[in-house]
Amino acid sequence: MQRRQLIRTVAAIAGAAAVAPALMAQTRPQVEVWKDPNCGCCKDWVDHLQANGFAVRVHDSGNTAARKRLGIPDKLGSCHTGEVGAQGKRYALEGHVPARELRRMLKELPQAAGLAVPGMPVGSPGMDGPVYGGRKDAYDVLLVLQDGSSRVYQSYHRG
């Protein structure tokens, strides 16, 4: 009798171990990213998202077409573009958006096209490596509205 129970327990644990990675991937927010294959800061931003619990799928095909398709104006452009969804809504991510603001947006679910950090501000996620010597420029995370206008969603004023 004890042997049967042991076999059932081992089988249940093995089954759970096989299913767990798939379940974990489903509960982690999925971000799809379009970037230049040779851009190191884009890779560092992807690493930042992964370190903060996001699952990331990368397309090394450039981001201009994705930016246009997702409704981000060129004037807000950066070196990579992402897309994330929650509760039936899809949002664009342009540039070095911190995971913190991405999580906030996914919680608040605003009526918007997405978030943008225009340009490549030093000190933002992915632009914060040792090569920058600890420099942290001030920058804003913008909430991009459906009509292409934007407003400040969060300011990072570091010195």
Task: Give pLDDT, residue 27.
Answer: 74
Q: What is the pLDDT of residue 26?
A: 54
Task: Give pTM, 2 decimals.
Answer: 0.81
Res 14 pLDDT > 90? no
pLDDT at 108 over 50: yes
Confidence at residue 84, expressed as pLDDT on a 0 to 100 scale:
97
Tokens 């897309």 locate to: 83
Please, which residues bridge with residue 58 across strands? 33
What is the SS3 assignment for 5?
A: helix
